[in-house]
Amino acid sequence: MKKIVVLTGAGMSAESGLKTFRDHDGLWHDYRVEDVATPEAWRRNMDLVLEFYNERRKNLLDARPNAAHFALARLEGKYDVNIVTQNVDDLHERGGSIKVLHLHGELKKVRSSVDPSLVYELPGWELKKGDLCEKGSQLRPHIVWFGEPVPLIAEAADLCERADIMILIGTSLQVYPAAGLIHYVFAGAPKYYIDPKAVEVPYIPKLEIIRKTAGEGVPDLVDRLMSEV
Ligand code: OAD
């Protein structure tokens, strides 16, 4: 089976009703990254950080996977598919994808603010000040904030190095190290980038840019790839 690695960003979930970050109606227009998505923000204003992620969790409860999530799951019938997602939602899993690596963490999980190995599923949407891990430390969102290491990046790079095909979906490619993963993929491997505002990526051979939404572009590409094997 050929190996496909799929790198997804917020645009993947846009048609499920979840906001992206950098579009004109995106989250980073209503909030400053420095206020809600850094370790300093957590120390300075824990209430605002908790509120921001509680709101994201509430939105996720109302969201359903879209046609693009379901199409990617279909691809597993003929390919060995690994999803590497920057998204913290669980829509890939709910759409039926089996191997999903969450580069930037998971909204439905929380962890100790002292011991990162103590990770828990959060029942419901609300994480509050005073919610503690088993060792008595405050729980924090299980999210990779700006300025923090990305623990799964080596695993993601390894998947890219072994991929026969790469698909990028709904990402502005502004945030590293995720945006650099495409450079790990073999030059001869076909690469597809589906995003209505796909940015030009220099020095990448065999890259086909498809300027469509995920809901339009992904099912079409999946049909194409399924007919090739
Ligand atoms: P961005 O908000 O930077 O980019 C979203 C991309 O999705 C843009 O390129 C849009 O053109 C595209 N898009 C919008 N609607 C779409 C649709 N219906 N179908 C397909 N594409 C669509 O989001 P990311 O690239 O995911 O990290 O951002 C990367 C990281 O920056 C996020 O994981 C998050 C953020 O800060 C953290 O919070 C740690």
- The per-residue pLDDT string of the chain (229 residues; one tens digit each, 9 = 90 and over) reads 999 999 999 999 999 999 999 999 999 999 999 999 999 999 999 999 999 999 999 999 999 999 999 999 999 999 999 999 999 999 999 999 999 999 999 999 999 999 999 999 999 999 999 999 999 999 999 999 999 999 999 999 999 999 999 999 999 999 999 999 999 999 999 999 999 999 988 889 999 999 999 999 999 999 999 999 9
Residues 123 and 187 in one domain: no
What is the 197 CA–ligand 1 centroid distance (Å)? 10
Domain boundary (119, 143, 167) is at: 143
Say if residue 222 is exposed, middle or buried (CB neighbours under 10 Å; 0-12, 13-18, 19+).
Answer: buried
Q: Where are the beta strands (DSSP E) in the chain?
A: 3-8, 80-85, 100-102, 105-112, 119-121, 139-143, 165-169, 191-194, 207-210
Give the C-alpha separation, 157 to 178, whole Å: 9
Residues 173 and 229 in one domain: yes
Closest C-alpha to ligand 1, atom 32: 86
Active site residues: 104
Residues 131 and 203 in one domain: no
Task: Note down the domain range covering 127.
Answer: 19-62+110-143
Give the C-alpha separation, 3 to 88, whole Å: 24
Q: What is the pLDDT of residue 202?
A: 85
Residues 90 and 7 in one domain: yes
What is the 137 CA–ligand 1 centroid distance (Å)? 32
Q: What is the pLDDT of residue 147?
A: 96
Q: Cβ(49) to ligand 1 under 6 A?
A: no
Give the C-alpha separation, 171 to 198, whole Å: 8
Residues 137 and 226 in one domain: no
| CATH code, domain carrying 35 | 3.30.1600.10
Residues 37 and 127 in one domain: yes
Residues 210 and 159 in one domain: yes
Structural domain count, the chain: 2
Residues 51 and 100 in one domain: no
Residues 138 and 218 in one domain: no
User: Count of alpha carbons within 13 Å of 100, Cβ hemisphere only?
Assistant: 23
Q: What is the pLDDT of residue 20?
A: 97
Cβ contacts of 130 within 8 Å, gap of 6 or more: 138
| CATH code, domain carrying 227 | 3.40.50.1220
Residues 54 and 100 in one domain: no
Q: Which of 20, 33, 220 to mutate to test the pocket of ligand 1 (most atoms within 8 A of CB)?
A: 20
Give the C-alpha separation, 144 to 68, whole Å: 25
Residues 35 and 85 in one domain: no
Residues 187 and 211 in one domain: yes
In degrees and rounded to multiples of 5, residue 69 shows phi and psi of: -60, -45
